Homo-oligomer: A and B are copies of this chain.
Amino acid sequence: MKPPFLPVSIVSSGKALPGRKVTSSELDARLSKSPGWVRKRSGIDHRFHANDEHQSAVAAQALNDALARGGIAADSIDLLICASGVQEQQLPSTAALVLDCARLRAGTPGFDVNASCISFPVALHLAASLLNTSAYRRIAIVASDLASRGIDWSNAETSLIFGDGAAAVIVERGDGSTGIEAYRLRTYPEGKAYCEIRAGTSRTPRLGAQPADFLFQMDGKRVFRLASSVMEGLLSELLGEAGLSLGDIDAVVPHQASHLGMRHLAERLRIPASQIVDIYATHGNQVAASIPTALHEAFITGRARRGQRLMLIGTAAGVSVGGMILTV
């Protein structure tokens, strides 16, 4: 069954980066590599890492940026959805911590949605559903991740690629001329251990958790192989559901997974490089903050404009793949 067009309007967006700009040259020195090694290997010029900032504070900064850019009063937000890949605390939700920093109207409800690196499109789809079925009129979605907290510096593959940051959007139902034309999420749990941070109820200090259990571990080849095998089908389904071809998409906003990952995605899916919003060289992989940060950059640089048709798409730990086609 083809689902109906789901009206939603992104009325504003914003982003935030934590304080410390980390250049690839700096990492060359830190990792005892020759000059240019990290830049070449990672495809990144610089990324930002948090000092002692909390994830919720960076999130609130992105949310405030979106409110300010849209001239939107903080007390007009009816709901906050936090769509990060990793939580600031095991309990309570990161949304509660963001609400404490953001100072919205007293009692403003908040909860977290988590689908790792593709939490944002999942949250946007949920927000659109809520705007069409509930009393909520204006919803804020914020994705904030401090991947630097979990970097395993002994692993050259994963230590180079991550950047911290947050991005937010404010959404309303709109007049029905903008919205989601197609949406897909798929999870392939046979890849659950391909990208992980093992600490949690499964591994606590009491259960013998080791320092490595708190660090990000990835089997990049396996993730890539699994994602590659299903991404083409996902793209076909999205386009098929919307009755469109790739040429109808004005810009593709992918998860900024890695330099090579994005290049392979484009080649395999036959998406021209000119169609892809690529902020990787100046942000790195920002986990769940990547897609909304790239979307925000596309808006403020004129790369995406009102009335255009965008595709958000990405792979995530889980392994999940997902995306949507939406007119903005």
A244 at the binding interface (Cβ < 8 Å)? no
Number of copies: 2
Per a CB cutoff under 8 Å, which of B79, B88, B207 touches A200? B88
Question: In the complex, given contacts A95-B115, A108-B186, A149-B201, what are 20 additional A-B residue pairs having Cβ atoms less than 8 angstroms apart?
Answer: A6-B134, A86-B201, A89-B196, A90-B199, A90-B200, A91-B197, A92-B116, A92-B196, A96-B116, A96-B320, A109-B185, A110-B318, A111-B320, A113-B113, A126-B130, A132-B132, A134-B183, A145-B201, A150-B204, A199-B199
What would 19 A/B residue contacts be, using CB atoms closer than 8 Å?
Answer: A3-B134, A86-B90, A88-B200, A89-B197, A89-B202, A90-B150, A90-B199, A93-B114, A96-B187, A96-B189, A108-B186, A108-B187, A109-B187, A111-B119, A128-B133, A129-B129, A149-B207, A150-B201, A204-B214
Among the 9-residue stretches A99-107, A278-286, A298-306, the one with 4 or more Cβ atoms under 8 Å from chain B is: A99-107
Residue A317 at the chain B interface, CB threshold 8 Å? yes
In the bound complex, CA of A49 to CA of B32 (Å): 48
Judging by beta carbons under 8 Å apart, are B187 and A87 in contact?
no
| Minimum Cβ distance to chain B for residue A207 (Å) | 7
A175 within 8 A of partner (CB): no
Contact of A3 among B95, B133, B145 (CB under 8 A): B133
Instruction: Say if the beta carbon of A112 comes within 8 Å of chain B.
Output: yes
Q: A211 and B201 in contact (CB under 8 A), knowing A133-B4, A133-B132, A196-B89?
A: no
Q: Is A216 an interface residue (CB 8 A)?
A: yes
Q: Give the chain B neighbours of A85 by CB distance below 8 A.
A: 91
Q: Can you list the 6 inter-chain pairs with the closest CB atoms, starting with the nearest?
A: A100-B189, A92-B317, A109-B185, A96-B318, A90-B197, A111-B115
A74 contacts chain B at the CB level, 8 A cutoff: no
Contact yes or no, B129 A317, CB < 8 A: no
Binding site for B on A (CB under 8 A): 1-4, 6, 54-55, 79-80, 85-93, 95-97, 99-100, 106-116, 119, 122, 125-126, 128-130, 132-135, 137, 145-146, 149-150, 183-190, 192, 195-207, 211, 214, 216, 230, 316-320, 322
CB within 8 A of A88: which of B87, B145, B202, B206?
A: B202
Q: Cβ of A3 and Cβ of B135 under 8 Å apart?
A: yes
- Most B Cβ at <10 Å: residue of A1, A146, A149, A207: A149
Which chain B residues border A189 with CB–CB below 8 Å?
A: 96-97, 99-100, 110
Q: Which of B90, B149, B203 contacts A206 (CB 8 A)?
A: B149
Nearest chain B residue, comparing its CB with the CB of A100: B189
A150 to B100, CA, bound (A): 24
When chains A and B are docked, how far (Å) is the Cα of A134 from the Cα of B2?
9
Q: What separation, in Å, do the CA atoms of A88 and B133 have in the docked complex?
A: 31
Which residues of B are found within 8 Å of A214, using beta-carbon distances? Answer: 90, 204-206
| Cross-chain contact B133 with A92 (CB below 8 angstroms) | no
Closest Cβ neighbor of A134 among chain B residues: B3
